Structure 1
């Protein structure tokens, strides 16, 4: 690999001049500048990002910590973050905790060692050690979807309670009264908020909650599959199920189909997120769409603003979900 000294020797200039050409830190004559750039291209010289960061105190790199990149929801948010970051001149280092808080903590330490300029965190849970690490480190940070106790940071989320309300209200408007909810983990704020919206819609309609119809699982297809089997084994089956995300709803459709339950003739199914796969499930999934790409773009822009000016007031952004109607839902028919 070529070095700056070799570039300087071949260009007939000092290493200081090469550095000025690379970093635009001093005016260099145009003929010298072009000569140096030509040699850099010929020798395929790659400037050291670490060395440049020591001079400029910037790496133009953002660290991102997510719980599970196998969830298409996060993939679509990441795309929005990458699109906006690229336009703003920043690179992304992506770490995946697989919902393990200890792995999350270690990865955040690694990102800090890499001298990232800022951190985007979708938390896999928090404890005193994570709070202490983030509080002690004066690093620009944006939290997405899940706040971390004791940490003051910019925060971006969709209105999960309103999304849960919209989903349940739509099912009620279709005439359903026996509506189950398969929620995500109890300890995650988005899960709790979606359940809160579900309960609010039932309460407004004067519908009593059957506790056996509120099931907590994880945000996976297997979780939805298992929860649906549990619901279908009850003596009083629901006529509709609101799933806490699309992956669970797709798993639920699979379990129902295997049990000979027709969707939506025998059981209406509602999802959440509107991942790309939702429109290709069988039947195509009615769901609550989160503005995933917009969440990603906004997160990146707010973090870069924070990197450039740490004294800006903290921002809290609440984006609104929308109902997407497809073919997994139908009006309630007595006797189904």
Structure 2
């Protein structure tokens, strides 16, 4: 920066004001400094700037599995919104592992990111509270902390599962299994509530043994389908944690020589692009993952504004049914 000041014939303070777009610099002087910056190819040190401003203009985005199209689309929304406001995003994948999640969060804190967006955390409440306590700002996606003033962006998972189960019951499928996803998933717990509420509203009995946790992947859905249908061969429908599990469920039914939907209806969740491309196309609950990511980043940006309202935000996104051939 001293080279720029010397070549432009101005003080270091004037160069700093130009770089930080501050006032008290004439248009002619500002242009002269900017011309010298271009001629010298000067780039201000982001590390040095962060020491002065206490800001790095970086944020962390932590997801359980960036190979899952739900999270890749959500990440796109976060990144587009962040970049439009001059922020860069560190995307971190926990691979559905709670210990790795804690390690990733510690690394982001050590990197002095300005804030973190944590998606579908698998940490228990005390661990989660401790893990995000060191960040200047944090937003949770598809997870809540009891009694904490943390911004949360949620899919109404309970409503989605209730609508999906209700749809199956209305079509005469009264024995509905639920491939409920990871055991530590907050979203899974909410969907179990919706699943059970739909049975209660229809005054139809169901069994807790019809629920089976599984990995949130195609392979997890396929293996869980074979296990559940061999254990309960009378099941006539499967509600699935997500569309990847549902694709695996269709494969599992094929393995058992069961036709979808004639023998077993299959219902997904998320409406990823693959849902419309498999055979038969998936009936599912549509969630706008991109909008979810945009909303999460907007909430984080609002936390960076000291003049903004400090009341915690709780944004709930409502899923909608998309009826296709797997559960017509």
Q: Is the shorter-chain TM-score for this pair beyond 0.5, marking a shared fold?
A: yes
2: CA distance, partners of 1:302 / 1:74: 18
Structure 2 partner of 1:334:
none
* 1:195 maps to which of 192, 195, 201: 192
1: CA distance, partners of 2:195 / 2:125: 29
Deviations 1:282-318 (A, max 9, x none): 2211101123222211111111111213761111122
Alignment length (residue pairs): 326
> Unpaired segments of 5 or more residues in structure 2?
none
Do the aligned residues in 2 keep the contact of 1:287 with 1:324 (CA within 8 Å)? yes
Do the aligned residues in 2 keep the contact of 1:126 with 1:148 (CA within 8 Å)? no
2: CA distance, partners of 1:18 / 1:64: 34
Deviation larger for 268-277 or 96-105? 96-105
Do the aligned residues in 1 keep the contact of 2:219 with 2:245 (CA within 8 Å)? yes
Decide whether aligned partners of structure 1 residues 133 and 190 sit closer, same or farther in structure 2, where only a CA change above 3 A counts.
closer
* 2:35 maps to which of 31, 34, 38: 38
Do the aligned residues in 1 keep the contact of 2:115 with 2:135 (CA within 8 Å)? no
* 2:315 maps to which of 317, 327, 331: 317
Structure 1 partner of 2:13:
16
> Unpaired segments of 5 or more residues in structure 1?
331-336
Do the aligned residues in 2 keep the contact of 1:131 with 1:149 (CA within 8 Å)? no
Deviation larger for 238-247 or 88-97? 88-97
Residue 151 of structure 1, CA deviation: 4.3
The alignment status of 1:170 with 2:145, answered yes or no, reads: no
The alignment status of 1:252 with 2:249, answered yes or no, reads: yes
Decide whether aligned partners of structure 1 residues 105 and 231 sit closer, same or farther in structure 2, where only a CA change above 3 A counts.
closer
Structure 2 partner of 1:215:
212
2: CA distance, partners of 1:42 / 1:238: 73
Deviations 1:22-73 (A, max 9, x none): 1123433333322332333344332212222222222222222222111111
How high is the TM-score relative to the length of structure 1? 0.89
Structure 2 partner of 1:107:
104
2: CA distance, partners of 1:129 / 1:252: 33
Q: Which runs of 4+ in 1 moved over 6 A?
A: none
Alignment of 1:1-336 (within 5 A): 4-122=1-119, 123-126=121-124, 128-135=126-133, 137=134, 139-148=136-145, 151-234=148-231, 236-309=233-306, 312-330=310-328
Residue 80 of structure 1, CA deviation: 1.5
Deviations 1:126-182 (A, max 9, x none): 3645433433x3621111111246743111101110000010111112221121111
1: CA distance, partners of 2:41 / 2:135: 36
Deviations 1:162-216 (A, max 9, x none): 0000101111122211211110123322101111111111122222113332111
SS for the counterpart of 1:233 is helix
Decide whether aligned partners of structure 1 residues 226 and 312 sit closer, same or farther in structure 2, where only a CA change above 3 A counts.
same
Decide whether aligned partners of structure 1 residues 227 and 8 sit closer, same or farther in structure 2, where only a CA change above 3 A counts.
same
SS for the counterpart of 1:169 is helix
Decide whether aligned partners of structure 1 residues 187 and 107 sit closer, same or farther in structure 2, where only a CA change above 3 A counts.
closer
Do the aligned residues in 1 keep the contact of 2:122 with 2:184 (CA within 8 Å)? no
Decide whether aligned partners of structure 1 residues 109 and 323 sit closer, same or farther in structure 2, where only a CA change above 3 A counts.
same
